[in-house]
Amino acid sequence: MSDEPMYPLFLNLRGRSCVVVGGNAMAEAKVRDLLQAGAKVKVIASEVTNAIATWARTQRLQWDNRHYESADLRDAFVVVTAAGNNVNAEVYAEAETRNVLCNAVDDVEHCHFYYGAVVQRGDLQIAISTNGKSPALAQRLRQELEAQFGPEYEVWLEWLGAARELLRASDSDSETNKRLLHQLASRPAFEQFLRETRTREPRKGVA
């Protein structure tokens, strides 16, 4: 993998064909993320975890109980492999040929992209990457950011989204709306939102 900086982006995988090679715990974690993103997931593995087997039984994904074949990437948009170095290299080579994005878990030499450590609060996502050099640091930073950006940010972002839609539907000009949206997203506005939210919350023991 090159030392050049990675290009950060968030992919829309809804309805996209994503292949996962391997059925161990690491593969399970990636499958869970792909399902949550709305991807169409196919798992290629002779053995899988209980969770993957359950998702297959409930038709949340397709499980092919066999070893990987190069044709498995024919219609894939993304492939994730957690099947060991030899298989990872084979999957990566085929992905290169077919222009499919490939991630090999804990195998940076066979990756087109890395999974970042992610803080998620509803629609708010903060992803952290160290370009594969220190996942431990990325995890520590994630924990610090989780403390900084608590669950209240999910509620606030929903409110900001609703305010944005109201402003877009109004007769105000775009520059005025832009200024207002920046004001609403400011730290003082966030603190005011928290104070008002806490005031509206019923106190324990009070009917």
Residues 111, 168: one domain? Answer: no
Last-in-domain residue among 56, 90, 115: 115
pTM listed for this prediction: 0.77
Q: Count CB neighbours of 193 within 10 A.
A: 16
Write out the E strands in 53-203.
62-64, 78-81, 101-104, 117-121, 124-128
Domain enclosing residue 182, as ranges: 152-200
How many Cα atoms sit within 13 Å of 49 on the Cβ side?
17
Last-in-domain residue among 95, 115, 135: 115
Residues 9 and 69 sit within 8 Å (Cβ to Cβ): no
Which tens digits make up the pLDDT trace of 167-196?
888 888 888 899 999 999 999 999 999 988
Residue reference for tokens 């994503």: 18
Which tens digits make up the pLDDT trace of 5-55?
778 888 999 999 999 999 999 999 999 999 999 999 999 999 999 999 999
180 domain residue, yes or no: yes
User: CATH number for the domain including 107?
Assistant: 3.40.50.720
Give the number of domains in the chain. Answer: 2
pLDDT of 25 reads: 96
Q: Quick one: angle between helices 174-184 and 152-169, nearest 10? A: 170
Which tens digits make up the pLDDT trace of 52-90?
999 999 999 999 999 999 999 999 999 999 998 899 999
